[in-house]
Structure 1
C-alpha cells in the first residue's frame, strides 16, 4: 500500500486495482473513506490513512507473540520499547531508528510555539473537556495522540495538514470503538477531496450502491464519514460510474470497462466488456519479447539480454557484473538452468593450461539440451551429437550455428545466444532466465550477493572454492583445479603493467567507456601482464579483450591499434590511388530505377522501403526525393514497427582501396526520440561505425560525407533505427563514393545545385528571434510568471537559501546575483511550484538550456520541464530527482513543438525541508541541442568572489583523540560496531563489484581505504565505524574524503555525533551516486561533553553500493575558520562543500607539488592511474 495511491495496491510487484480479493477472499483490500483497509480471515486489520497514520488491529491469540513499533501486545506498556536485539530503551527515537535504520529528525519548538500548538485551536482540541472530542477523550486516553500532534506541528512549523492528519487519526480511532464524533470538518478546515461523480457526507448510513457484491467496501455502518456516489452513479472498483460503465472482476482483480490485461504466461489477452463480461483470446509474445512484469504490469516487453564473459587467463564477469579470476584446467559448468523454465540447457567449458605457466585459458565450449549436444573447439570447428558439421547449420527450428567474424555463434529461439572464439566466450540470456540460472556465470538474480552459489546451494566468498564446486565429471580431460592464489608480481613489473594497461582509459577507447566500463579490464590486463612477465603480445591480447566486449555491446573501435603500443606497421604516407571503375565499386545510386544491388539484411526486424513522394505518416519523412524532387529514395517507415527496431541495407563489395570520400544525402524529420541513422564500413569480417546522426534534424535534405581509408575490399552498411513513436521516418538518397579526400571534391562532383545547407549555428548568447524565455533573473523574472493555482511559489533570491544543508550558496551567473528556487521549508511533501514562460510562436525544433541546482537530503525532491501546447496539453520532456550534489549542473532539453508553445518549470518539494531546488540562466535556441557548440554556457564562476588566499598554520589533527587515520597500516583507534549485520572493510585497489566503489585509495593511489561491500548485505543494511572517545568538548572540524559511485538507489553515508554514551545525532549525510571520484567533506561538530564519531554506510537497492572513506582527520575550531593548505577556496565554499572544477584543478596541482618529493615513481604512476580512472 502506497500513501499516494488510493485506488490500487501492489501485490507481488504487480499493481492491482481496488477493491481486491486475494487467496479466495482470505485477504481483502479496499478503500473506506480516507483510508486503505486490509483485512484477513484471521481477524488482522490494517487501516492506512491518507495522512500517513497506520492503525493495526490483531486478535487476542497474538498476545505476547508480536514485536515492532506497536509493542509486544502483552498488556504491559513498560516493555513496549524493545529493540530487535532484545534491549529495552527509553528514547522513542532510538526505538524508531532500530526498526527502520533511517535516523529521524528531532522536533524543535520554541516555548511560544509549544504554547500556541497546545491550545484548543490546535492540538488541544483532542484533550479539551468541552470540545468536539470530549465524549471520546473521556473514554479513550488522547495523550498519545496529543503528543504526536505536537511533534508533527513542531516538526512542520505549524503545517495545517499535520493538524488535520492528527485529528483525523484520533477521529478514526474513536469511530473504531463505537464513539461517534460531531462533524469537525468543513469546506475551509480539513476538507475532504472526493473523486469524480461523488461528494462528501459527514454522516451517511447504509451500504453504498455497487455494481457487484465484490465492489462492496465493507462500509455499511450508521452515520459514517465518507465520500458517496452522486445520484445515478454506483461503485465499481472504488470509483463512481454509470450503470452501463460497470467494470469486471477476474481472479480477485478489478478491471475498468474496455481495459485489457494479460493472463498466465501471456498466453491470453483479455478485455473487460463491462458489467462483469470478459472476452479472452489466445496470444503469445514475439520472438524478441518476453513475458514479464514491468512497472507493475504483466505483459510482453522487448527483450533486454544480459551477458556473461570469460576471457584471458581466464577471467569471468557474471550476468550480474561480478568479476573474478580462476586458474583451473578442468571442465566446468559455465551456466545451466537450475529452476523451472520451458527449455533446460547446460553450457560447459574445458580450460587448458598455458605453456610454462600456472594459468589457463578456454579450450572448447559445449551446449547441452534435450536431444542435442553441440561442441565448439578453439579452432571454431563445430560438432553436433558427435559428428562434425559445416557452417552454417540449423537444428530444427530452435537452434542455428554460424560463423560471425572471429566467433562461432549459436542463436536460439528460447532466449540464449553463445559466441566463442579466440579463447573468448560470451553467453547472453534474456529476462525469462532471471533467477533460474547457476554456474560460473552466476545466478542472474539482479544481485551479485548470491553469484557464488555452489551446486549444494551454499553461497561462498572465495572464487577458487566457488569455481572448483562447478567442476564436471570429464574422464577424457586430465586437469587440476589450479592454485587458489594469483602468482606474485614484482612491484616494478606491476607499476609497468598499470601504466600500459591504463591505455584503456585513453581516447582510443572512450567511445565504449559508457557501455563497457574499463576498470575491470584494466585489472585483468594487469594480472595477465604480470603473469606473462611483460609480454607485449599478451598486453595487446588484453586490450583486445576489452575491444571484443565493446563489439558485443555493438560499439566498434576500428582504429584502436593505431593509438596504442599494438600498432604494427605504419600505413604509407601517400595512399595508392588507382583509377576507380564501375567494376571495382559498382554501387553509387540515386534509387530512381532500382536499389542498385544494395541488399536488405534478412536478420533485421523490418526493411528499408524504396519510395517516391511523401511518406504515409504525417509530420515525418520527406515530401520528395533529393535528386529531382519527383524521383525515388530509400526510407524506413516508423509506423509499422516498434521502438528500437532496426533496418539495414548493405552495398555490393567495393574493391578500391586507399583514401576515398563516401557521400550521401539524408533526411531525418519527426518528433520521435532516439531515431537513428548509422553508417558502417564492413571490412575483414568486421563492421565499424563511421558516421551517426540522431533525432529530428528538420524537414530538409542534408549532405553527409565520410572519409574512409580501406586497405581491403569492403562494403557499406546503412542502418536506420525506429525511435519512440511512429514519427521516425529516416531517409537516404544519392549515395556515391569518390577517390580522394572529401574536401578535394569539386562543385561538379557534389552537385551543389541541389544542396540544402545545414542550419546555421546561432550565437547562443543572443536572444531568441521570436521568443522571450532567456533570463538570468538578475533584474526580475523577465517574462516568466508564477502559476496561481499552486500551493506555493518559486522565490527570486540571492546568496544562500535559509534552510541549512540544501540549496545553492550563490547564483550561477556571477556568484553574487539572483536565481529562482523553491523553499522546501514552506511546503509539504509532494507540493509543486510552477514557473510558466511567455508564449513562443516558433513551432520548430528548439533547444532549452538551463542551469539547475539540487542539493539536499530530501527523498523525491525534483525538477521537471514540461512542453505546453494547444493551451492546456502539457508533456513532461525532462526530469531530475533526488540530491545531485552541491553544485550547478547544465541541462539541455530538445523541444519538438507542433504549434506555438510555452515551457513550464515544475519544482517538487520532497520528504523533508531539505528540498531547495534552484534554476538560473535559462535560454532558448533554435535547432537541436546536438548541433549546438559546447561553449554556449555563461562562464561558470566560483560561488563567491575570489579572495586572496591567506595561509596560516593548520592546527594539528587531534591525535590524542585517535580519530585521524589514513588506514594505510590499520584502522587506527576506530572499531566496528558488533551489532551490525555486516562490517566496513579495509581494502586497496578496486572493489570486487563492477561499476561501483573506487579504483584506489585517496592518499597515495596505492594505499588502503575503508569501504562497505554492497555485495555482502541486503537493501537497507548499515555498517558503522565508531571512533575512540575524544575528551575535548569544544568546536571541532571533522575532515574526510568519501567516494560514492554506483547505480544503487538509497545507498548512503552518514556521520553521527555520539554523546552521553548513547545519544547519536546525525550531523551530515550524503545519498545516491556522486560520481567515480573522491570528494572532500568537512563537518562542524559542536559537542557539549566528551564525544565519539560514527561513520554509517548504508547498502542501497543493489550490490552497486560500495561507499568508501579515507584520510579522516579532526581539527580544533570551526571549519570556516581554518585555512587548509591542501585545498584552495574561500571558507564559504568550503563550508558548503562545493568543490568547483577550477578549484579542483588548482588543488590537484598543489597536491602533486606537495607530494613530489615524498613519493616513489611507483606511487606516482599509481596516482596517474587513479586520476585516469576518475575520468
Structure 2
C-alpha cells in the first residue's frame, strides 16, 4: 500500500485495482474514506491513512506472539521496547533504528537451496536472457517477481505451486503490455485445473459460446491460453453449463439458476429463473435485522449493535473504542446523524459539577428527532415535548421508554437504544449508522483515527479541544468547559489507586474480560480514586462502572462484591438467626413509590413493568394492585413478547440466615397455556427454584409463602414466563420477609413441581443396576433426557457437524457412529444446553468417564459437569473452556455423592457459531478414578435397537393392510380434520386448504388425493422464524408395532423450514421418530415411519416456519397400519371416498417409490416442546 495511491495496491510486484480479494477471500483490501483498509479472515486489520498514520488491529490469539514497533501485545507496557536481538531499550530512537534498514529478503533457505531455486530450472527462468521470458524481461523489470519467487520457494520448501504462481503472475503482466509468452506450461509442469465440463487449450482462438454478452471473457484473440467449455456447454458466470441452466445477471453480479438475492435496501427478494429471467417480490427486514452486505451478500442479517458509554467524572468510550476524559459542565452533543439516513436524531447530555471539585458528571440526557423531544433526568423522570410522562410510554410505533433496572431505557425500531441512570449513559446503534455519526461518541467508522472529528470537519488530537467543539447553546444551563488538564494525584495515592483498581483484573471479573477489556476501566478508576482522595465508596462505584458495562454486553457478575473491598459484611448481632430488618433485608416492597432497589436482569428476554390499574390487554391481568386497589404492582405484559420469553427481577442482598418466611401476593389470570411464575433463591452464586405456579389461577390476588433457610447472604429472583398467547399477564405485589416459620403455609406451597425424567429399563450389563448412565449414543440417547430449564438442546449426530472449522468429523466409538453435540448456529452467545442423567441410587464414590471434543475459534464456549442432589441442588464438579484442538479427549471426574444423585452435562455456546462442543462414550464406574486402569476402552453398552424404516417395495397386486381400527388417525382431510386436533401450546395452527397456498413460490398447487380436494399446511406469512404448529392425533389403544404412512410437500426457498413426527406416550413423553428439513421440490413425497409403542399413544405432526415466508409445509392422506412397514404391502388402487377416510389407501408405484425421501432420528423432543406438552397434560388433569 502506497500513501499516494488510493485506488490500487501492489501485490507481489503487480498493481491491483481496488476492491481486492486475495487467497479465496481470506484477504481483502478496499478504500474506506481517507484510509486503505486491509482485513484478513483471522481478524488482522490494517488502516493506512493518507496522512501517513497507520493502525494495526490483531486478534487476541497473537498475545505475546508478535514484536515490532507496536510492541509484543502481552498486556504489559514495560517490555514493549524490545529490539530484534531481544534487548530492552528505553530510547524510542534506538528502537526505531533497530527496526529500520534497507529491505532485505528474509531467507529461510540454505545456500545450496538458494542456488537451486535461482537456477533457470526454477525462478531464474524469469530473468534469463535466453529463456522463454527473455523478450518480456528485456522490457519489464523482472527483479521483483524473481525475489517474490525466491521467497515463496524458500518458505514453502520448493512447493511447485509457488513457482507456478510466480511465473503465472509475470506472464499475465507481460500479456498486459502486449508481449505473449507461449507454451511455458504443459500437462506436467504447472498444468491448469479447469472446472467441470471444460478442458485446457494452450492455443485456442475466437470467442467462446456464452449465455449472454455479460458472460464474455473479454478478448477473443488468436491462439490464447485458456480453459474452454466442452461441446454442448457454454459460459455462464465463469462456469460451463447447459443452455437450459444459464443463469442471470443483475447489477453486475451473476446468479445461478434458482439462486435468490436481495435488491435495493432489501425491499425486494428476487430469484433467477434462468436464461436471464428474474422474478422479484416485495419483502422487508424484521425489526431486529439490518439490511447490509455481509461476506459479499446483500441481505437481512441479525443486528450487531455497538455501544458508546459515558460514566464517572465523566469518562467516554466511543463506538470505535477510543477512551478519553473531559471535565466540562455544559450541554454537549453525544451523538448525532451527520450523513444520509432514513431517520435523523441528535442525543445531547448536560454535565454538572461535582462537590465543588474540578470534575463533573452526567445530569440529564435528551433525544431529539422529528416531532419528538425526550429528556431523561438523573432521577429517571422522563419528559416528552415539555410534559412529564409516566412509564412505560410509547410514542407512535417507533419509540418506547420504560424502566429497566437502574436505567430509564429508550428503545426504537430504527436501530437506536439509550440507557441512562446512576450517572451512566449507554448509547447503542446498529450497522445502518456506520460512518454517518458524529459527536462525543465518535464517527463509528471502524477506526479510532477519525473519532475526534469536530463539527467543522477537522480531526484534532486533544480531547479537551474535541469535546469543547461539541458544546451546544443552552441558555438555561450555567456552565464551564472545565480544565484541559487532569487533576494531579500524589504518587502514594496513585500507587494505592492502581493496587485497588487492579482488582478488575482478578477472577471475580474474569468472565467479562473478553467482552469488555478492563484496562480502560482501571485507568478511569485510578483517576476517580485520586480525585476522591481515596474514597472507598468511589472505588466501588468505579468497579460498578465496569460491572454495568459487562451487563450491557450481557455478561452477569452477580457476586463480584463478595470478592472485593466492596463486600458488605452482615450486621453484627448476638442472635445467630436475626429477624430480618429494613437494614439487613432492604427489599420488602409494595411498589407504590418505586421498585425498592429490585433490579431487572439483563440476561432475560424482556422486563417486568411497574403499573397501576388494569393491564392494557383484555381478559388477563388484575384490575388494580393488591395493597390498596389504587396503587402500583409489578407485572409482565404478554403483548410485546413471544411464547416462552422470560422476565426476571432480582432483590437486593439480604444478610440474614436461618429459617425465614418469604411472603408475597400474586395474580395469574388469562387463557394462555404455559404461563409461569417462578421464585428462586440465589445463594453462593447458585440459583435454586423454591416456588412455582403455572397457568390460569383465576381473576384474584393470592398469597404465596415460602420457607427458606439460607446459610449465607442471598437474593431472591422472581421470574415470569409468557405463555402460548398474549393473555399471559402475571403480576406480583407486597413482597416481604419475616423471621421464623410461615404461619399459614399451604400444602401447595410446600410442593415444588419438578420435572423428573421418564423411568427407563435398567441395563442388566451395567455395573450399576440403579445407575443407567452408560451410553455411546449409537442407537438413541439411552436414559439421558434434555432438560427444560435451558435455552436449547443437545443434538444426536453422526459425521461432521454442519458448521465449518468446528466440531468433530466423526464419533469417538467407531468413527462412523453417533455422538451428542451442541450446534452453535442454533443459539446465541452464552446460551446453554443441558443433558440430564437418570437417577443413581448408589451413593458411593463414583468415577464418571467420558470423551469430549471442543474445537472451534469461538471464545467462552464451554462444557461443564454438575452433580445434582436432592432434586434441585447442583454443584459444578468439572469444567473446560475454549478450543482444545480438533481431537477427542478423555476425561474422568470423581463424584462423591452421599445420597441419590443425577449428572448434568452443560454445553455453553461461545462468542461465535464455531462453538460445537461434543461428548461420546459416557460411563459410570464404582470407586475412585485413580482405581481405574490407565486405558479404559470405550464403553460397550447393550442398547435397544434403533427404529428402522426400510424402503417399501412397490407391489401392485397385494391387498391393502388393515388399519388400526381403534385408532382414528387415518384422514385425507377432504371433509374435515377427522379426529386430529390443534395443540393449544404451540405458536400458530395448521390450516385446512384446497388449491394453491397464498404465498407465491411455496406450498403445493393442489392436494395429493384427487388434485381437487383438501390438505393441511402451515402458512409461513402468519408466523416468524422458528415458530411451530402442532397437530395431535386421537389416542390409539393398540400398543403394537405400527406403520404410519403419509404424503408431504415441502417447497420454498426458506432455510430451516421443517416437518417432524413425534410419538407421544404416557401423556407427556414425546419422541421424535422422523424429520425432514429444507426445500424438497415442488412435488408430493411418500413417507412411512415405523412406530413401536409399548402403551397407548398419540402422534404429533409438527411444522416449523423457516427463515422466510416461503415455508409452506403440507401433509395429506395420513394412515396408520398394524405391523412393521417392511412387512406390509401397499396397493396403488383407491377405494371410494368413504373407505378412504378409514383405510386411506395410498398411491404407490415404482416411480414414486424412487422419489421417497424420509429420515429417522431418535433425538428427544426439544426442551420448549416438551415443556409445552407437559403443561398441556397437567392443565388437562
Q: CA deviation at 1:235?
A: 0.3
Instruction: Give, in whole Å, the separation in 2 of the partners of 1:1120 and 1:393.
Output: 63
Q: Is the 8 A contact 1:291 1:298 kept in 2?
A: yes
Q: CA deviation at 1:1131?
A: 91
Equivalence for 1:982: 988
Equivalence for 1:646: 646
Cα distance, 1:503–1:54 mapped onto 2, change above 3 Å: closer
Q: CA deviation at 1:523?
A: 2.4
Q: CA deviation at 1:459?
A: 1.4
Cα distance, 1:443–1:651 mapped onto 2, change above 3 Å: closer
Q: CA deviation at 1:212?
A: 0.7
Q: Is the 8 A contact 2:650 2:716 kept in 1?
A: yes
Q: CA deviation at 1:481?
A: 1.1
Greater Cα shift, 1158-1167 or 437-446: 1158-1167
- Write the deviation string for residues 51-89 of structure 1: whole angstroms up to 9, x where unpaired: 999999999999999999999999999999999999999
Cα distance, 1:967–1:702 mapped onto 2, change above 3 Å: closer
Question: Aligned runs of 1:353-392 on 2, under 5 Å?
Answer: 353-392=353-392
Q: Is the 8 A contact 1:21 1:252 kept in 2?
A: no
Q: CA deviation at 1:746?
A: 18
Q: CA deviation at 1:1111?
A: 81
Instruction: Give, in whole Å, the separation in 1 of the partners of 2:522 and 2:1019.
Output: 20
Greater Cα shift, 848-857 or 418-427: 848-857
Q: Is the 8 A contact 2:867 2:895 kept in 1?
A: yes
Equivalence for 1:1136: 1142
Q: Is the 8 A contact 1:702 1:757 kept in 2?
A: no
Q: Give the TM-score, by structure 1 length.
A: 0.47
Instruction: Give, in whole Å, the separation in 1 of the partners of 2:880 and 2:768.
Output: 25
- Write the deviation string for residues 126-156 of structure 1: whole angstroms up to 9, x where unpaired: 7889987799899999899778766765665
Q: Is 1:438 matched up with 2:438?
A: yes
Q: CA deviation at 1:50?
A: 31
Cα distance, 1:1096–1:523 mapped onto 2, change above 3 Å: farther
Q: Is the 8 A contact 2:692 2:753 kept in 1?
A: no
SS of equivalent residue, structure 1 residue 179? coil
Q: CA deviation at 1:210?
A: 0.6
Q: Is the 8 A contact 1:852 1:917 kept in 2?
A: yes
Instruction: Give, in whole Å, the separation in 1 of the partners of 2:897 and 2:425.
Output: 47
Cα distance, 1:1111–1:862 mapped onto 2, change above 3 Å: farther
Q: Is the 8 A contact 2:1075 2:1161 kept in 1?
A: no
Greater Cα shift, 104-113 or 1041-1050: 1041-1050
Cα distance, 1:606–1:391 mapped onto 2, change above 3 Å: closer
- Write the deviation string for residues 986-1042 of structure 1: whole angstroms up to 9, x where unpaired: 999999999999999999999999999999999999999999999999999999999
Instruction: Give, in whole Å, the separation in 2 of the partners of 1:25 and 1:577.
Output: 66
Greater Cα shift, 556-565 or 48-57: 48-57
Greater Cα shift, 371-380 or 1091-1100: 1091-1100
Q: CA deviation at 1:216?
A: 0.7
Q: Is the 8 A contact 1:674 1:724 kept in 2?
A: yes
Q: Is the 8 A contact 2:373 2:385 kept in 1?
A: yes
Greater Cα shift, 263-272 or 1047-1056: 1047-1056
Greater Cα shift, 674-683 or 374-383: 674-683
- Write the deviation string for residues 303-336 of structure 1: whole angstroms up to 9, x where unpaired: 1222222222222222222222222111111111
For structure 1, the 5+ residue unaligned runs are: none
- Write the deviation string for residues 700-725 of structure 1: whole angstroms up to 9, x where unpaired: 99999999889999997798999999
Instruction: Give, in whole Å, the separation in 2 of the partners of 1:403 and 1:384.
Output: 15
Instruction: Give, in whole Å, the separation in 2 of the partners of 1:746 and 1:223.
Output: 95
Q: CA deviation at 1:401?
A: 1.9
Greater Cα shift, 609-618 or 840-849: 609-618
Instruction: Give, in whole Å, the separation in 1 of the partners of 2:563 and 2:1134.
Output: 36
Cα distance, 1:712–1:295 mapped onto 2, change above 3 Å: same
Q: Is the 8 A contact 1:1080 1:1137 kept in 2?
A: no
Q: CA deviation at 1:177?
A: 7.1
Q: CA deviation at 1:6?
A: 24
- Write the deviation string for residues 403-448 of structure 1: whole angstroms up to 9, x where unpaired: 2233222222111122222222222222211111111111122222
Q: Is the 8 A contact 1:324 1:463 kept in 2?
A: yes
Q: CA deviation at 1:5?
A: 24
Instruction: Give, in whole Å, the separation in 1 of the partners of 2:236 and 2:322.
Output: 49
Instruction: Give, in whole Å, the separation in 2 of the partners of 1:1023 and 1:501.
Output: 53
Instruction: Give, in whole Å, the separation in 1 of the partners of 2:429 and 2:418.
Output: 9
- Write the deviation string for residues 654-699 of structure 1: whole angstroms up to 9, x where unpaired: 9999768999999999999999999977999999999999999999
Greater Cα shift, 746-755 or 64-73: 64-73
Q: CA deviation at 1:91?
A: 28
Cα distance, 1:1100–1:1028 mapped onto 2, change above 3 Å: same
Equivalence for 1:1025: 1031
Greater Cα shift, 470-479 or 1020-1029: 1020-1029
Q: Is 1:1174 matched up with 2:1180?
A: yes
Q: CA deviation at 1:288?
A: 1.0
- Write the deviation string for residues 265-307 of structure 1: whole angstroms up to 9, x where unpaired: 1111111111001111111111111111222222111112222
How many residues are treated as equivalent by the alignment? 1174
Give me the CA root mean square deviation: 29.9
For structure 2, the 5+ residue unaligned runs are: 944-950
Q: CA deviation at 1:245?
A: 0.8
Cα distance, 1:551–1:282 mapped onto 2, change above 3 Å: same
Instruction: Give, in whole Å, the separation in 2 of the partners of 1:1133 and 1:342.
Output: 61
- Write the deviation string for residues 768-824 of structure 1: whole angstroms up to 9, x where unpaired: 999999999999999999999999999999999999999999999999999999999
Q: Is the 8 A contact 1:787 1:834 kept in 2?
A: yes
Q: Is the 8 A contact 2:127 2:133 kept in 1?
A: yes
Q: CA deviation at 1:858?
A: 22
Instruction: Give, in whole Å, the separation in 2 of the partners of 1:295 and 1:872.
Output: 45
Cα distance, 1:957–1:914 mapped onto 2, change above 3 Å: farther
Q: CA deviation at 1:157?
A: 4.6
Q: Is the 8 A contact 1:84 1:99 kept in 2?
A: yes
Greater Cα shift, 320-329 or 886-895: 886-895
Q: Is the 8 A contact 1:819 1:920 kept in 2?
A: yes
Instruction: Give, in whole Å, the separation in 1 of the partners of 2:1178 and 2:496.
Output: 15
Q: CA deviation at 1:917?
A: 22
Cα distance, 1:594–1:1142 mapped onto 2, change above 3 Å: farther
Q: CA deviation at 1:243?
A: 0.9
Q: CA deviation at 1:185?
A: 3.7
Cα distance, 1:259–1:56 mapped onto 2, change above 3 Å: farther
Cα distance, 1:35–1:411 mapped onto 2, change above 3 Å: closer
Instruction: Give, in whole Å, the separation in 2 of the partners of 1:828 and 1:374.
Output: 32
Cα distance, 1:337–1:1116 mapped onto 2, change above 3 Å: farther
Q: Is the 8 A contact 2:1059 2:1076 kept in 1?
A: yes
Instruction: Give, in whole Å, the separation in 1 of the partners of 2:1097 and 2:140.
Output: 43
- Write the deviation string for residues 715-761 of structure 1: whole angstroms up to 9, x where unpaired: 97798999999999999999999999999999999999998699999
- Write the deviation string for residues 1024-1070 of structure 1: whole angstroms up to 9, x where unpaired: 99999999999999999999999999999999999999999999999
Q: Is the 8 A contact 1:988 1:1009 kept in 2?
A: yes
Q: Higher relative CO (CA 8 A, sep ≥ 6), structure 1 or 2?
A: 1
Q: CA deviation at 1:215?
A: 0.5
Q: Is the 8 A contact 1:18 1:31 kept in 2?
A: yes
Cα distance, 1:224–1:146 mapped onto 2, change above 3 Å: same
Instruction: Give, in whole Å, the separation in 1 of the partners of 2:573 and 2:1084.
Output: 45
Q: Is the 8 A contact 2:690 2:752 kept in 1?
A: no
Q: Is the 8 A contact 1:398 1:412 kept in 2?
A: yes
Question: Aligned runs of 1:950-965 on 2, under 5 Å?
Answer: none
Q: CA deviation at 1:162?
A: 3.8
Cα distance, 1:1002–1:42 mapped onto 2, change above 3 Å: closer
Cα distance, 1:335–1:776 mapped onto 2, change above 3 Å: same
- Write the deviation string for residues 589-648 of structure 1: whole angstroms up to 9, x where unpaired: 999999999999999989999999999999999999999999999999999999999888
Greater Cα shift, 347-356 or 148-157: 148-157
- Write the deviation string for residues 330-378 of structure 1: whole angstroms up to 9, x where unpaired: 1111111111111111111122222332222222221111111122222
Cα distance, 1:712–1:624 mapped onto 2, change above 3 Å: same
Greater Cα shift, 31-40 or 1016-1025: 1016-1025
SS of equivalent residue, structure 1 residue 235? strand
Q: CA deviation at 1:209?
A: 0.9
Q: Is the 8 A contact 1:501 1:522 kept in 2?
A: yes
Instruction: Give, in whole Å, the separation in 2 of the partners of 1:508 and 1:1142.
Output: 66
Q: CA deviation at 1:543?
A: 3.1
Q: Is the 8 A contact 1:126 1:137 kept in 2?
A: yes
